[in-house]
Structure 1
Amino acid sequence: MSRLPNVKAITEYTEAYANDVDAHNDEQAARLLEALYIIDCYRVVMMMRPPTLMWHTLTRLAAQAQQGSRLTSVIRSAAALVDGTVLPRPANGEDCSLASLASLAPHLWTVLYPRRNQHKGDTVLAEALRIGKPDFVEIACEKWIQSGVAVPSTDMTALLLYHMIGINLHANLSTLQTFAYLGTGSETHGHRGRSMAEEIHCWLEERDYDVAHWHAEQLTTIVEASLTHPKADASLRSRSSLSSGNTAEPRKVVYEAPHVPYAIYYATLVLYVKGAAMRDRLSAPLVRAPLVRGERLLSFLKVAVAQPLARMLCDMS
Structure 2
Amino acid sequence: MRGLLGDAPGGSPAPVPPHRPIRSPGSGWSCLPPPPEASTPGHTPVRPSLSSTSSSLPSLVPLSCPRTGYFFRTASHRIIAPNRINRGRGVCMMSTSWRDKQQPSLINFIAAFLAANSYRLNFLSISPDFIFNNGGLSVAFVFETNWDCQNEDAVFSRVNRLKRQFKNLYVVVAVPTREQNESFNQSYHKYDIELGCPTFVPVNDPEMGFEKIAKIAHARGVCKQQDIISTMKIEREQAVQCMDAFLRVLTSIPGIDNHDANALAQAVGSIEAIAKASKGFILENTDLSMDKAETVVRFFRDPQYYLSPKIN
Instruction: Please classify the TM superposition score into its range, dividing by the shorter chain length.
Output: under 0.3
The structure whose residues are more often strand, as a share, is 2
Structure scoring higher RCO (CA < 8 A, sep ≥ 6) equals: 1
TM superposition score normalised by structure 1: 0.21
Larger-gyration structure (1/2): 2
* Structure in which a larger fraction of residues adopt helix: 1
TM-score w.r.t. length of structure 2: 0.22
